[in-house]
Amino acid sequence: MRRSVAILSILFVAVAAGAGNVYGESAKDRAGALWAARGDLSKAAEALTAYEAMVQQSPKDYDALLRLTRVHYWIGQNLEATDEKSALSHYGKGKEYGKRAAEAAPDQPGGYFFGAACLARENSLKGSFSNLFGIKEVRRQNEKAASIQADYFYRGPDRFFCAYYTKLPGLLGGSVSKAIVHGRKAVEAHPNYIGNRVFLAEAYLKDGKEDLARRELEAAIAVPEAALPDVIPEQRLEKKKAEALLKKIPK
């Protein structure tokens, strides 16, 4: 009898351990599959729920916290044009998850980089890019990410500083020459990441170099969709930006 009870107890534990699985997938696999399908915003929203559940179970899970930061950033980017209020909400949440990711793994660049990305977009939508505290904080976090891994996310820190020096007013430290230096570094390191070329093109346009800007945008549009399989949704979004910007350049 005791043996039967013991066997039943073992079976119960095994079943309970698998109760959170969906079609045989672990919670992590399920969340990862939803993340991979983030091009569909309904799947991105499901990914948020899945990763939030993981974080509830393990509050210092760096990978889950980073994914939450990235999903909020991704959804925010897609909502900006149609629902600014919701976009701001996602950026605010993404910023906080980025902070938690950085605290969970201070030797990893992701929390700093994507947390700063959310903060930068939040500042931009609020029209507070001239806010010195916001500028300094976004810069500080990107400098931290660069000090850990300069090549992170397809040379993300250089891509950020290209945009930073392009958009920042001269009185606050903006410099198109510095922007171009950082933009070229990003493009040379990862020419197939479309965002690198888009930001460099914006710097060239501000510098009055329309031919160079057109060259970068045409190259961006020509990048094959599957060139970087892990960021296809982001590539599609950046390619749309490249196409829109190219149309604004006189032929």
- pLDDT digits 0-9 by tens, 197-214: 999 999 999 999 999 999
| Domains in the chain: boundaries | 28-149, 150-251
pLDDT value of position 129:
53
CATH of 28-149, one of 1.10.10.10, 1.20.1630.10, 1.25.40.10, 3.40.50.720: 1.25.40.10
Interatomic CA distance for residues 113 and 180, integer angstroms:
20
Q: What is the pLDDT of residue 245?
A: 98
* pLDDT, position 131: 65
Of 237, 240, 172, 249, which Cα lies nearest the Cα of 206? 249
Which CATH number applies to 150-251? 1.25.40
pLDDT of residue 127: 77
Give pLDDT tens digits for 27-83. Answer: 999 999 999 999 999 999 999 999 999 999 999 999 999 999 999 999 999 999 999
Of the chain, the percentage scoring pLDDT greater than 70 comes to: 88
Structure tokens belonging to residue 160: 């950020």
- Please tell me whether residue 22 adopts helix, strand or coil conformation: strand
